[in-house]
Every structure is written in structure tokens, then in C-alpha cells.
Amino acid sequence: MTINTDALIIGAGPAGLFQVFELGLLGIKADLVDTLSAAGGQCAWLYPDKPIYDIPAVPVCTGGELVASLMKQIEPFHPTFHLGEELVELKAAEGGFAARTSQGKEFLAKTVFIAAGVGSFQPRRVHVEGADALEGTHIHYHVKDPDIFAGKRLIVFGGGDSALDWALALGPKAAALTLVHRRDEYRAAPASVALLKERAARGEVKLVELANPTALRTDGSSLTGVEVTTKAGDSEMLDADHALVFYGLSPKLGPIANWGLEFNKKTIVVDTEKFQSNIPGVFAIGDICDYPGKKKLILSGFHEAALAAFAAKAIVEPGKKVHLQYTTTSPLMQKRLGVAGEE
């Protein structure tokens, strides 16, 4: 069954989410496809607890808070999310564009918005036998609900900000926590590294450096331990109920590179009137687009989304004049936002 949509957005990061909002104000409903299992892009996956200081009128917010606010903002427009799927095919078709995901889901879209950051993101996974079967239940590449780890034996793999932030946050609530890093130098904030080592010195957490996971111990469908092996060849079995893996995200252009788009290096060339690519009806916003003077800032993606939405309106409803209206005074926009009649 083909899903018909006015707008298909590839990427559910901040730019893609705000694209939903700008389209919604103009009466255009959107579907979003993202390879990650949750909306938010890099903000949600790489720095959910890190402060962001350059969002207009928001002195400070974390990546997670920004995503939550954007999700709240687009609620009136009821977008449909297709998460954990990669768009593998896009081609011109009668009435717009035919698209297909890695799960076999098919779309017919009048317009397409590529908001894929630096490409499709995939978590760098643990390459140990049996890990795939435990993914999402006992092996985690993203923390959805920290409460499930309370009172559990945890192993955190990684040496960057995400690994140390979660190790510090979950350590006091866990029955036991071990951080395993393949190096003896960390890529996290110095203050986080210092605090982790202080806790290790007090015996509150365990640090295993210069080691990698080499085997899993299971009891049926449950994880009971992870074997780690040092570069010197010494192995140790660590008891664990859950393993949290923060090896980072691996960006790649993927199938986008095969759709006939014009690229400058690994970014899509667009105009600055509509942020439209060389293919009419296909727009690119956020970090993946390129034009003279382009700056990879979240606020730039918001601006690009606004102008792209107006251009899309002319395609979705050809021949109909698009008037600039303001949310402060437009009854139509306020109705779409669900605030009509409010003061």
C-alpha cells in the first residue's frame, strides 16, 4: 500500500522537525523518515544533556530539551513518523516522487525535503556474536528511559561525552557500573573525566581501559555478562544486566548520493530563494545543504525551512496564491495551531 503525502521529510533532527511546523502553518501535512529509532538527530543522540546557547530567544537549553520543545510545537499538525527506516529509493513519478524505505514502505510525495544532517546516522555497533539479538533489550545504543537501569548491573562502553555523561548519571542508581574504554585517553569534557576517576578511586564505579568486548554471556534471552579483552590479551568476564554502547554515530550519505542531486563535496547544492535542489520539488535544509555563505547552525536550518515551505505550497496547490500571514493575527493559522479564540 502506497502512502500518499504532501511532503516527505528525510531526517527528524531539529531542521526536519521545524520543517513540519512551517509546512503545517501553510496547511501541508508531512511524513518523516529517519534511520534512527527516535526523533531528534544529533541533538538527541550525541548531546541530549549538553547546553545549547545560540537558539534565538532561548538563553540556554539542552539538546534533549530543544527536541522536546520542537516535538511539542508540531503536535497540532500530527506528523507521521517512520523511524528506524532508511529511504533507499527516490525517483520522479506522476504526481510527484515515488520513494521506498529499507523496510519496503512506499510513498508518493508531492514534495521532498532532505534534512538529513551530514547523511544517515547509524550507531557504531558492538561486533560480538549474539549482540544483534539483544539490541534494544539488554544492549542499548541510546537511552530512552534511564529508570529501567536503576538497581541493575551496567557496563558502559565508550570514552566520549555521551559515555561519561551516562556513566556519571546512572552510576549512583545502578547496582554496579563499569566503564570500558578501548583507550586510556578520553574525548569527554575534562571535568567529566576528573569526576569519573574520582568515583573510581572511591570504588563507586569500575574503570577498564585499553579493552574491547569480545564475548557475551547469556541466560536464555537475558544478558548476564560481557567478556572484555585488553590489548595485552588479558580477558575478564564482567557481570552485567545491560550494556550501553556509546561508540558514536557513523554518518554516511547512503542512497541520497544516487538520486541525481547536485553535490558540492557531500552537501546538496540549493538556491537561496527556495532552498530547492537541482530537482524541482526536492528541497534540502540544515547541515546537508550548501550555498554561498552557508553556516551549519541550527538557526540557519530554521530559516531555510521557512522559505522552503512557501516554495512547496506553490507545488502542493499550484495556481493558488500564497499570502504571507502571521501567527499573531491570522485566524487561519491560529485555527491550524489549535489556538483559535485564545487571547
CATH label of the domain that carries residue 96: 3.50.50.60
The residue ranking higher by pLDDT, 54 or 252, is 54
The mean pLDDT value for 152-179 works out to 96
pLDDT at 342: 58
Q: Are 167 and 254 in a shared domain?
A: no
Neighbours of 227 (CB within 10 A): 16
pLDDT greater than 70 at residue 81:
yes
Contact of 70 with 298, CB cutoff 8 Å: no
Q: Are 140 and 106 in a shared domain?
A: no
Domain boundary among 247, 282, 299: 247
What are the grid coordinates assigned to 139, written together?
544492549
What are the grid coordinates assigned to 254, written together?
547512503
pLDDT at 70: 98
Query: How do residues 279-295 score in pLDDT, each as one tens digit?
Result: 999 999 999 999 999 99
Confidence grade of residue 21 (pLDDT, cut at 50, 70, 90)? very high
Residue 98 falls inside a structural domain: yes
The mean pLDDT value for 37-56 works out to 87
% of the chain with per-residue pLDDT over 90: 82
Full residue range of the structural domain in which residue 319 is found: 2-122+250-337
Q: Are 101 and 86 in a shared domain?
A: yes
Query: For strand 106-114 and strand 96-101, is the pairing parallel, antiparallel, or unpaired?
Result: antiparallel
Amino acid at 235: S
What's the domain count of the chain?
A: 2
Report which of 258, 291, 293, 265 is spatially closest to residue 277, judged by C-alpha positions. Answer: 291
pLDDT greater than 90 at residue 46:
no
* Average pLDDT score, the chain: 94
Q: Are 255 and 118 in a shared domain?
A: yes
% of the chain with per-residue pLDDT over 70: 98
pLDDT greater than 70 at residue 296:
yes
Rounded Cα gap, residues 115 and 15, in angstroms: 6
Question: Which element (helix H / strand E) includes 251?
Answer: strand 249-252
Domain boundary among 202, 221, 247: 247
Q: Are 312 and 241 in a shared domain?
A: no
Query: For strand 263-264 and strand 267-269, is the pairing parallel, antiparallel, or unpaired?
Result: antiparallel
pLDDT at 47: 75
Q: Are 239 and 274 in a shared domain?
A: no
Rounded Cα gap, residues 278 and 271, in angstroms: 9
Q: Are 117 and 137 in a shared domain?
A: no
What are the grid coordinates assigned to 110, written together?
508531492
pLDDT greater than 90 at residue 252:
no
Q: Are 105 and 167 in a shared domain?
A: no
> Please, which contacts does 132-136 make with residues 24 or more away whose CB atoms are closer than 8 Å?
133/221, 134/216, 134/218, 134/221, 134/223
List the single range of 66-70, 78-82, 249-253 with lowest mean pLDDT.
Answer: 249-253
pLDDT at 30: 98
Rounded Cα gap, residues 136 and 248, in angstroms: 17
Confidence grade of residue 213 (pLDDT, cut at 50, 70, 90)? very high
Rounded Cα gap, residues 180 and 165, in angstroms: 14
Count of residues making up the chain: 343
The residue behind cell 579493552 is: 211
Amino acid at 255: P
Residue 343 falls inside a structural domain: no
Helix count and strand count (H, E) for the chain: 8, 22
Question: Highest-confidence range of 47-51, 136-140, 245-249, by mean pLDDT?
Answer: 136-140
Residue 342 falls inside a structural domain: no
pLDDT at 329: 94
Contact of 157 with 245, CB cutoff 8 Å: yes
pLDDT at 262: 97
Residue 205 falls inside a structural domain: yes
Contact of 76 with 24, CB cutoff 8 Å: yes
The mean pLDDT value for 40-66 works out to 89
pLDDT at 75: 98
Confidence grade of residue 117 (pLDDT, cut at 50, 70, 90)? confident
Confidence grade of residue 121 (pLDDT, cut at 50, 70, 90)? low
Report which of 287, 46, 64, 67 is spatially closest to residue 187, judged by C-alpha positions. Answer: 46
pLDDT at 190: 93
The mean pLDDT value for 146-157 works out to 96
pLDDT greater than 90 at residue 137:
yes
pLDDT at 120: 65
Amino acid at 178: T
Q: Are 299 and 241 in a shared domain?
A: no
pLDDT at 50: 83
Amino acid at 38: A
Model's pTM, two decimal places?
0.73
Rounded Cα gap, residues 228 and 237, in angstroms: 6
pLDDT at 341: 61
